[in-house]
Structure 1
Amino acid sequence: MVHVHVVFPAAGVGKRFGSAEPKQYATIHDRTVMEWTLDALAAVDGLSKTIIALQPDDFKGREIASRAGVTDVCVGGNERADSVLNALTLLAVTESADDWVLVHDIARPCVRATDVQALIQECEQLGQGGVLARPITDTVKQVSSVPGQCKTLDRSELWTVQTPQCFRLGELLTAMRYCAANNIPVTDESSAIEAMGGAVHLVKGSADNIKLTHAEDASLVAHYLAQQERIK
């Protein structure tokens, strides 16, 4: 039987957030961002194991993960890709290479269970991996090294990528190892798949699946959580 697992890279320090504490521990309505995010994925039917990658001395994260019923905790790395690779390596010890893995940002607490289920369904139907994404609606400029020179890109071909990103465990682990061995920058899991020549399908997600990056984003996250009726 093919299972669907979830990996949360959560070892980052969130330098752009401007806080002494990692952004996943920012509090929104008496709960941490990490708790909101774990709850969001817990609402998705049919998921199997969950693994979260944390800093070795992150006792707060371990306590939250334990309360939330996270299956395993692994040691995170200096970069997101390192954390994902560590989690996938641990998962592959006991799980099938044909299983699906969702990799989700711990700082995206507003993801909708319906979007995640739509992503899983499309990947299973196509037999290939995919990511949640949104078509760009703003005009996009490409700048050059020459001051005052830029050009407008065709936005009909441009999408912004969200998470979760969903791929076969074996395929993603191979791609992440390949990129690590060849010093290929990996900004997200789909870029690792692309580096190996793999297919990546875009599945339209919701506009409120935003990533908490700066401190001022917290009020918008709270607004979306309230709109989703998750804040009681």
Structure 2
Amino acid sequence: MRYWLVMPAAGSGSRFGPGVRKQYAPLEGRTVIEWALAPFLGDRRCAQLVVALARDDADWKKVAARLAASGASAVTTVEGGERRSDSVRRALESLAASASPSDWVLVHDAARPCLDPADLGRLLDRLGTHPVGGLLATRVSDTLKRAARIG
């Protein structure tokens, strides 16, 4: 089974706060987007990763340089759109000449860094025999809340 990854990364992260887009926030020695890409970069079934970036994204070059230095060659970019759905569409259009009708395309958000490779493997194993597709989800076990003494 072969698949392609589309990663929307054109969002501004406005709910995250000013200063840095969420996908470029530092997390344990890497950026969030590097953690989000990692399970796919390590998977031989992934033919190519297409990252949809904002037109004014100045941070991707640093990430791309680190990825290239680590040997990751299957990452390409497209200009994202105004909405997430526009970014996904543009990335899908970029795959039209390369992907085969029997290939799968996975969409994974750049601001979701905690994908367990074992979960990805289970999803792919099930997709291999499914006629329509699948959705990877995990039950929420806890709610995280921020508390302060005042308010």
Q: Where does residue 95 of structure 1 map in the other structure?
A: 99
1:108 aligns to 2:112 (yes or no): yes
What amino acid maps onto 1:118 in structure 2?
R
* 1:58 partner SS: coil
Could you say which structure has the higher helix fraction? 1
Q: Which runs of 4+ in 1 moved over 4 A?
A: 135-138
1:120 equivalent in alignment to 2:124 = yes
Once the two structures are TM-superposed, the CA of residue 20 in structure 1 deviates from its matched residue by 2.1
Give, in angstroms, the shift of residue 63 of structure 1. Answer: 3.6
1:21 is displaced (CA, Å) by 1.6
Going from structure 1 to structure 2, the CA distance change for 1:136 and 1:58 (only over 3 Å counts) comes to closer
Counterpart Cα distance in 2 of 1:9 and 1:63? 18
Give the superposition deviation at 1:114: 0.8
Q: Does 1:75 align with 2:75?
A: no
SS in structure 2 of the partner of residue 20 of structure 1: coil
Q: Which residue of 2 aligns with 1:51?
A: 50
RMSD: 2.0
Gaps of 5+ in 2: 147-151
Helix, strand or coil for the counterpart of 1:73? strand
Unaligned runs of 5+ in 1: 139-215, 217-232
What secondary structure does 2:12 align onto? Answer: coil
Q: Following the alignment from structure 1 to structure 2, what is the Cα–Cα distance between the partners of residues 66 and 37?
A: 16
Distance 1:127 1:136 in 2: 28
The separation in 2 between residues aligned to 1:81 and 1:5, in whole angstroms, is: 17
Q: Conserved in 2, the CA contact under 8 Å of 1:14 and 1:23?
A: yes
* TM-score after normalising by structure 1: 0.55
Q: Which has the higher contact order (CA 8 A, sep 6+)?
A: 2
Following TM superposition, by how much is the alpha carbon of 1:93 offset from its aligned partner in structure 2, in angstroms? 2.1
Matched positions, count: 138
State the percentage of identical aligned residues.
Answer: 39
Say yes or no: does 1:85 pair with 2:107: no
Cα contact 1:6–1:104 (8 A) shared by 2 = yes
Distance 1:71 1:31 in 2: 17
Tell me, in whole angstroms, the C-alpha distance in 1 between the residues paired with 2:140 and 2:20: 32
Matching residue within 112, 130, 146 for 2:134: 130
After superposition, the Cα gap between the structure-2 partners of 1:30 and 1:125, relative to the gap in structure 1 and judged at 3 Å, is same
